Amino acid sequence: MDTVAHSQIQVIGHNWAIELFARQVQVERVPQALLLTGPPNIGKSTLALFFAQYLNCQTDGPKPCGVCLSCRKILNGSHPDIRIFDDEQQALKIDEIRDLQHDLSLSPYEGQYRVAILCNFERATTSAANALLKTLEEPASQVVIILTAVEAGSLLPTIVSRCQSTVLRPLPTSAVSQALQTYWQASPEQGELLAQLSAGRLGWAKRALLDETLLAHRAECLRDLSDILRMNRANRLAYAQTLSRNQVTLKATLQVWLTIWRDLLLLQSGSKTQILNLDWREPLQNLAGQSNLGQAKEMVTKLRAALLNLEYNVNPRLNLEIVLLKMPKFEGK
């Protein structure tokens, strides 16, 4: 996929986290383990890479410069002292941690620090997490370990207590919209819509801008939901069987449905809060007219629970069936 070329890692927002880190580096109190938490696609791994650049940048000026050899190698993934574990599908395993531990026991090869970035650490196996704990207990000098996770509560407390925790919050939608227009050539309309849909998660907004299948899938989710609301029990169960075959699509679909029911809840309660799916005001008002506040509340709760269940490997089909059978039944074909 084509992306816009950049010589520097774009961190938008999270300024306080960068300032804190920079101060610690300046006074030579570099944290040996960092935990970055926040919703998916909010910029955790981007910030981790930025920190890796910061630690190894060769310039005497403001860091990271984005142009020195070290900065460029980190950006294109070829720096020998930076290890990144960012597999969306696979859990981090104990063998990989052992391999990493060996690496970290050596002095930096060409940079000042060895940096290990372990993304979505809640997905690591228990044995991998326990193995990493040993490394955190006996930190080596010139080594920085950065973990990312959605919530600290999903990690072993003993791991969390050994990390400097940084909680990243969603950006204001105006900042997301501005960044999309400034750095990724979005039109003002695209910028506003994607910023709103992203709920302040720039990573998501950027992906949706560059990969149009994301918005196409979103439109499909609305169509499917409208159909399901008119389906009988048997057809809903058949739909559950098909959709649950692909975990990634299932999760993405549940996430979109959650935004829809949340919007329906806002419309039905007459709230002044702006709906998320700005471009769907009309179809959503139509759906809101056929359902009630209690149903919308229940669906928001059920969808949140279903998304959480996915993280805990609950049977995907049963998980989805519960949601679909709880959805109201609209009249009509």
Exactly one of 11, 71, 128, 320 binds Zn ion (CB under 5 A); that residue is 71
Q: Is residue 49 part of the contact set for Zn ion (CB under 5 A)?
A: no
Q: Segment 152-211, which members bind Zn ion (CB under 5 A)?
A: none
- Minimum CB distance to Zn ion smaller for 52 or for 124: 52
- Minimum CB distance to Zn ion smaller for 54 or for 85: 54
Closest distance to Zn ion from the beta carbon of 52 (Å): 11
Q: Provide the edge-to-edge strand list for the sheet that holds 164-167.
A: 82-85, 114-118, 143-149, 33-37, 164-167
Q: Is residue 68 part of the contact set for Zn ion (CB under 5 A)?
A: yes
- Minimum CB distance to Zn ion smaller for 50 or for 257: 50
Closest distance to Zn ion from the beta carbon of 182 (Å): 22
> Interacting stretch for Zn ion, rule CB under 5 A, among 32-40, 64-72, 90-98, 111-119?
64-72
Q: Could you give the string, one character per residue 1-40, with x where binding to Zn ion holds by CB under 5 A and - elsewhere?
A: ----------------------------------------
- Minimum CB distance to Zn ion smaller for 71 or for 168: 71
The distance between the two most distant Cα atoms of the chain, rounded to a whole number of Å, is 70
> Interacting stretch for Zn ion, rule CB under 5 A, among 13-21, 62-70, 206-214, 308-316?
62-70
What is the distance between the alpha carbons of residues 55 and 144, in angstroms, rounded to a whole number? Answer: 9
Size, binding site for Zn ion by CB under 5 A: 6
Q: Is residue 322 part of the contact set for Zn ion (CB under 5 A)?
A: no
What is the distance between the alpha carbons of residues 155 and 92, in angstroms, rounded to a whole number? Answer: 13
Q: Is residue 65 part of the contact set for Zn ion (CB under 5 A)?
A: yes
> Interacting stretch for Zn ion, rule CB under 5 A, among 8-16, 29-37, 61-69, 163-171?
61-69
> Interacting stretch for Zn ion, rule CB under 5 A, among 50-58, 79-87, 141-149, 230-238?
50-58
H/E/C letters for each residue in 132-146? Answer: HHHHHHCCCCCEEEE
> Would you tell me which residues interact with Zn ion (CB under 5 A)?
57, 59, 64-65, 68, 71
